Amino acid sequence: MTPQSPPRIDASVHVFFKDGADLRRHLREPFRSRGFPDPDVAWYSRPGPKYAEGTDGPDGSHPGSDPALVGRQVLDERGFDYAVLHPMSVAGILPDWHLGTALYAATNQMLAERWLESGPYADRFRGTVRVNPNDVEGAVREIERWRDHPRMVQIGLPVQTQAPYGRPYFKPLWRAACDAGMPVAFHLEMGVGITHPPTPSGPTRTYSHHAAYQPMTYIWHLLNMIAEGVFQEFPDLRVIWADGAGDMVTPFTWRMDTFGRPHLEQTPWAPRMPSDYLRDHIYFVHGLLDGPGEAEYASEWLRMTGKEDMVMFGSSYPDWQTASPQDLPSGWSARQRAKVLGGTAAGLFGIDRLVPA
Amino acid sequence: MTAEPAAERPARLARGREHVVATVGEIPPGERMIVPIGRHGVGVYNVGGRYYAIANYCPHEGGPLCHGRTHGQVVVDDGNPGGAAEVRDGEFIYCPWHQWGFELATGTTAVKPEWSIRTYPVHIRGDEIVVTG
Amino acid sequence: MTIDLQHATRTAANEKAAEKEQVRVVDCDVHPVPKRGELEPFIPEPFRGLFAQRAERAGEMIYYDAPDYAHAYAMRTDTFPEDGNFAGSDPNLTFRQLIMDAGSDIAILGPTNGSSGQTAEELHALAVATNRWQDACWLDPVNNWHQRFYGSIVAAMEAPEAAAREIEHWAGHPRFCQVLINAEMRPAWGDPRYDPVWRAATRHGIPVACHLGRGRFNELPMSPVGFMTYNHDLMVSYSMLAANQIMSLIFDGVFDRFPDLRIVLIEHAFSWILPLMWRMDAMYKAQGPENGLKRKPSEYVKDHIWFTTQPLDYPEDKLELTNALEWMEADRLLLFSSDYPHWTFDDPAYIVKHIPRRMREKIMFGNALDLFGLPGQVPALAGQKRVF
């Protein structure tokens, strides 16, 4: 690595507790004795393995739960300098928001102690503060609790909500994120809970349909946040859609600009053209289903709508759709590839050099 | 309704010079008249005693701009229930097709000034409204 | 004045009776609405009485309102006829503004008479009435003297068996060229319960078109993250409903069950189909033919699905649109539409400029002539605008 080149950053690595008992050990009563679903319970289960081969932890512990193994596979074997860890959870879709907040607090504690403050890779891991959108005051307190931790670099929120994130009662979350100087990453919650059906036409009949459709859920949040003026009111807010489908931002931006032009009269709190709110606000983790793959126009497509400055490589390790740098389109320019593989993430997370935080 | 010229297809007036388009009384405040200047005509508006003239052609899809409704501009106003207020009543024309709005005085939009439409100088000479177009 | 013009045009048409004109623009989304009291005689009882009672004292029903709604009613404001009826209620005015002045040579009518119904039976009754009204008030020899209007067999997907019977009833009518369903019904279209509709349509070789209905409950798309706030975010996200219906049709094997089924998505926008095809193909590649699919998802799209051009969404750099149209093979996917008389109207002369030259004939008329089996020539009209 030359001094000028940015660090290589895997912007989305999924981490887990070792098992249910491990999670309960991190919970205090009365929550330790409560009932809640396991993250691997799914209405739609993939026909085939759920996790990438060889990611099981020692002694049968959950894939993505052992820091040494994850560090070796994600950083050493794939040649990355840093990994942003995003704990997977069910807490954000539980009906009892007190329980959800307690689960997130336990998750954050585990992440800090086990991954960011100890072990051979601690100086190369960065963390996500998971907070509960169903408990905005509690979420703000949790952000306050972790904002000064040197290795916590982003806030994590579930994609599935009962109302879109543009609604005004979420504002304290954006204020707290801006005050903490952290971007907000949104990822699909695992497990089962109180969610709306995954499509406007209800449940799907197949896993293929479900797994290809659900990453696009962010579109509703993004449209609503723009029209509700979230990015106008919080010019420092940066959001990361961590399930992929960044390729969809191009047609939906065209649509929102074209259709939205006369609607701006209805939303003076968002007076600019919708596309003006993308730059420096919107980021994506690249997904394995994102196009166009090996097309000759891959570079041009990435340039359109400014996606080349939004998309970041994230492996989603240890998911079955774990991505590798060789999965990225070969048609991208060297400059685009460098941005995606770390340049953009380095700026976003403030990871500039190979200096331990 | 706003005033319309009587004739269906009057002859086009020559461009680039002064046109006496009406007498002051013929376009009362809040009204407009479409006069045959240029290819698509020009809307001459009286907004509270101030006169404006703007091309009757929307740069978006070519809609008959001056057949739309004039009203003000919506702004944030936290003091108002609902958080918005309309200001500068009557100073903007909104296309009857897609509701794109243009400022009568300048022909520009608040959103993207480069999307603008031609406006014409208007002055009053005695009892006459004179448009230079 | 409308009558005079109609008379004058008709006389001119008679004079040129032998003269035919090539169809250059087929407009696949035109909205007729009944004049006040015009639909009611066609509604079968007991639903006629029920609807009348329900309408008592019921005024405006909009939520998610388009700009300046209280004055424009989400319409092109110059399309309201002088008799005080609603925009799109006067066949002569539609003929004059759309066929004569804008240059749509053929207009395919897609009535969306709302969903005042609360049950499948009520919605079916409304569909029956809409079809009888279209036949009598728009497609009849008097109002369609110019032979430029074609209609839609409106079918209630909520009642698939009854919808299939309705398709059977009208199939063969020379002026109904498509089945028209609403887009919102749950579950998605891959569910086998809808097979009777696809079976009836394919038996008669009629494409099935789908328009958004914007009703309540089952007729309003509910996002996975709750309701949108404005007409703006609602209508933009409406495309996600169509995207899901396409994925359901493909992954649930509808085109394998009905290899002749042809689907037209009206007013759902279309540029999103490009990344959606990549997405579906990538999943197919990763998961294999989980459901016995015989082909790549994008191949089903290109052989079975068409999109109307309105709303045409474009970037600031028009070259990006041109590229996207080439990459998606838009000449296999698109059908021109105006959406007259709605406020989102796209003028054919405006649309044609955005379409790469080599695709223009297919998108503006060729695809529609083939898909709907329409005549390539129609009686000429003196003074009609020719778009390109």
Per the CB < 8 Å rule, is C349 touching B62?
Answer: yes
In a domain, A6, yes or no: no
> Which residues from C are below 8 Å from A250, CB to CB?
271, 275, 315, 324
Residues C230/A227, Cβ–Cβ less than 8 Å: yes
Shortest CA distance from B8: residue in chain C: C1
User: Subunits touching C (CB < 8 Å, at least 3 pairs)?
Assistant: A, B
In sequence order, the 6+-apart residues with CB closer than 8 A to the CB of A7 are: A1, A81, A82, A342, A346, A351, A352, A353, A354
Q: For the segment B56-76, what is each residue's pLDDT rounded down to a tens digit? A: 999 989 999 999 999 999 999
Q: Measured between CA atoms, how close is C90 to chain B, in angstroms? A: 18
Residue B96 Cα to chain centre, angstroms: 13
Which CATH number do you get for residue A102?
A: 3.20.20.140
In a domain, C33, yes or no: yes
On average, the pLDDT of chain A sits at 95
Q: Measured between CA atoms, how close is B111 to chain A, in angstroms? A: 6
Per the CB < 8 Å rule, is B98 touching C66?
Answer: no
Q: Which residue in the set B71, B94, B96 is minimally distant from C76, CB to CB?
A: B96
> Which residues from B are below 8 Å from C343, CB to CB?
97-99
Q: For the segment C172-209, what is each residue's pLDDT rounded down to a tens digit? A: 999 999 999 999 989 999 999 999 999 999 999 999 99
Residues C280/C302, Cβ–Cβ less than 8 Å: no
- What does the domain layout of chain B look like in residue ranges? 18-132
How many CB atoms are located within 10 Å of the residue A269 CB?
17
In a domain, C387, yes or no: no
Shortest CA distance from B73: residue in chain A: A265
Q: Does B133 touch chain A (CB under 8 A)?
A: no
pLDDT score of A355 more than 60: no
In a domain, A58, yes or no: yes
CA C359/CA C349 separation, integer angstroms: 15
Q: Measured between CA atoms, how close is A264 to chain C, in angstroms? A: 9
User: Subunits touching B (CB < 8 Å, at least 3 pairs)?
Assistant: A, C
Average pLDDT of the segment spanning B90-105 = 95
pLDDT score of A353 more than 70: no
Q: Does A161 touch chain C (CB under 8 A)?
A: yes
The two three-digit tokens of residue A6, written as one number: 């940015």
CA C43/CA C125 separation, integer angstroms: 6
Please report, for residues C8, C65, C141, the alpha-carbon distance to residue C14 in angstroms, rounded to integers and kept in the order given: 10, 44, 15
Q: Measured between CA atoms, how close is B63 to chain A, in angstroms? A: 14
In a domain, A357, yes or no: no
pLDDT band at B7; cut points 50, 70, 90: very low
CA C208/CA B97 separation, integer angstroms: 29
Predicted local confidence at residue A263, as pLDDT: 86
Q: Does C315 touch chain B (CB under 8 A)?
A: no
- Pick among C1, C65, C76, C353 to test the B interface (most B CBs inside 10 A): C76
- Pick among A50, A223, A230, A322 to test the C interface (most C CBs inside 10 A): A223
List the domain range (segments joined by +) for residue A90: 12-349
The two three-digit tokens of residue C171, written as one number: 């199939």
- β-bridge pairing C305-308 and A82-87: unpaired
pLDDT in tens, chain C (388 residues): 344 555 555 555 555 556 999 999 999 999 999 999 999 999 999 999 999 999 899 888 899 999 999 999 999 999 999 999 999 999 999 999 999 999 999 999 999 876 666 789 999 999 999 999 999 999 999 999 999 999 999 999 999 999 999 999 999 999 999 999 999 989 999 999 999 999 999 999 999 999 998 888 778 888 999 999 999 999 999 999 999 999 999 999 999 999 999 999 999 999 999 999 999 999 999 987 777 888 999 999 999 999 999 999 999 999 999 999 999 999 999 999 999 999 999 999 999 999 999 999 999 999 999 999 999 999 999 999 999 9
Give me the residues of B, 62-81, that contact A with CB < 8 A.
73-76
Predicted local confidence at residue B15, as pLDDT: 57
Per the CB < 8 Å rule, is B84 touching A261?
Answer: no
Bridge partners, residue B101, by sequence = B94
CA C278/CA C288 separation, integer angstroms: 15
* HSE-up (13 A, CA, CB side) for residue A271: 12
List the domain range (segments joined by +) for residue C221: 27-373
CA A223/CA A285 separation, integer angstroms: 18
Q: Does B78 touch chain C (CB under 8 A)?
A: no
Total domains in the fold of chain A: 1
Which CATH number do you get for residue C363?
A: 3.20.20.140
pLDDT band at B2; cut points 50, 70, 90: very low
Average pLDDT of the segment spanning A15-44 = 95
In a domain, A356, yes or no: no
Q: Which residue in the set A262, A269, A272 is minimally distant from B98, CB to CB?
A: A262
> Which residues from A are below 8 Å from B84, CB to CB?
268-269
Per the CB < 8 Å rule, is A265 touching B74?
Answer: yes
In sequence order, the 6+-apart residues with CB closer than 8 A to the CB of A54 are: A73
User: Subunits touching A (CB < 8 Å, at least 3 pairs)?
Assistant: B, C
Q: How many CB pairs under 8 A join A and C?
A: 231
In a domain, C282, yes or no: yes
Predicted local confidence at residue B5, as pLDDT: 43
Average pLDDT of the segment spanning A140-167 = 98
3-state secondary structure C218-251: HHCCCCCCCCCCCHHHHHHHHHHHHHHHHHHHHH
Q: Which residue in the set A165, A217, A227 is minimally distant from C232, CB to CB?
A: A227
Q: Does A271 touch chain B (CB under 8 A)?
A: yes
Residues C376/C22, Cβ–Cβ less than 8 Å: yes
- Indicate whether this model's pTM tops 0.90: yes
pLDDT band at A17; cut points 50, 70, 90: very high
In a domain, C259, yes or no: yes
Q: Cis omega (within 30 of 0) on the bond before A325?
A: no
pLDDT score of B1 more than 70: no
Q: Which residue in the set A46, A201, A257 is minimally distant from C188, CB to CB?
A: A201
Q: Does A122 touch chain C (CB under 8 A)?
A: no
The CATH homologous superfamily to which domain B18-132 belongs is Rieske [2Fe-2S] iron-sulphur domain (2.102.10.10)
Q: Does C345 touch chain B (CB under 8 A)?
A: yes
CA C306/CA A40 separation, integer angstroms: 39
B22 phi and psi, to 5 degrees?
Answer: -170, 170
Predicted local confidence at residue C10, as pLDDT: 55
Shortest CA distance from C273: residue in chain A: A251
